[in-house]
Amino acid sequence: METETGMQIDCRLCRFADHEDGIRHVRETVFVAEQGVPLAMEWDELDDDATHAVAMTESGRVIATARLLLDAGGETAHLGRMAVLADWRRRGIASRLLHLLCEYAHHRGAVQVCLNAQLSAVPFYVQHGFVAQGPVFDDAGIPHRRMCRAAHKTD
């Protein structure tokens, strides 16, 4: 993808180990430093099992990330840890990562993709076909809402 300034941004799927330093930098900057999520809550054992998506600059710097986990039956994919560094927001990067992971989930046989959206991000996910389900809940001191959509929906 190309940004409005002509810079090329490469969005790709990867394993956590492939870009661990970059993924850690983005998530710790966004979730821990900006949003106050405790460091111990940010990291879990699921990263090694997840499929990750990263957006990288031409120089190879990771500027955004998200992860996807398939449930045991493979019918539901769970998207999470979507984060874009502040200087790169509102350029379509999160949309591209979301599309890439939903497409991957569909090709792996998932029927639906679900996520826990911060309330401030609900409008973004609605634009991409997600529908809110259930009540608002607290996660790390931040209000969230569960949202789902069909895995095969095109953006």
**pLDDT tens, residue by residue, 64-114:** 999 999 988 879 999 999 999 999 999 999 999 999 999 999 999 999 999
Cβ atoms of 155 and 126 closer than 8 Å: no
- Report CA-CA distances (Å) from 40 to 23, 44, 55, 145: 16, 8, 25, 22
Give the CATH fold of the 10-114 domain: Aminopeptidase (3.40.630)
* 62-70 vs 51-56, strand pairing mode: antiparallel
Average pLDDT over residues 116-132: 95
Q: Where exactly are the structural domains of the chain?
A: 10-114
Cα(52)–Cα(66) distance, rounded to whole angstroms?
Answer: 6
pLDDT digits (tens, 9 = 90+) for 54-66: 999 999 999 999 9
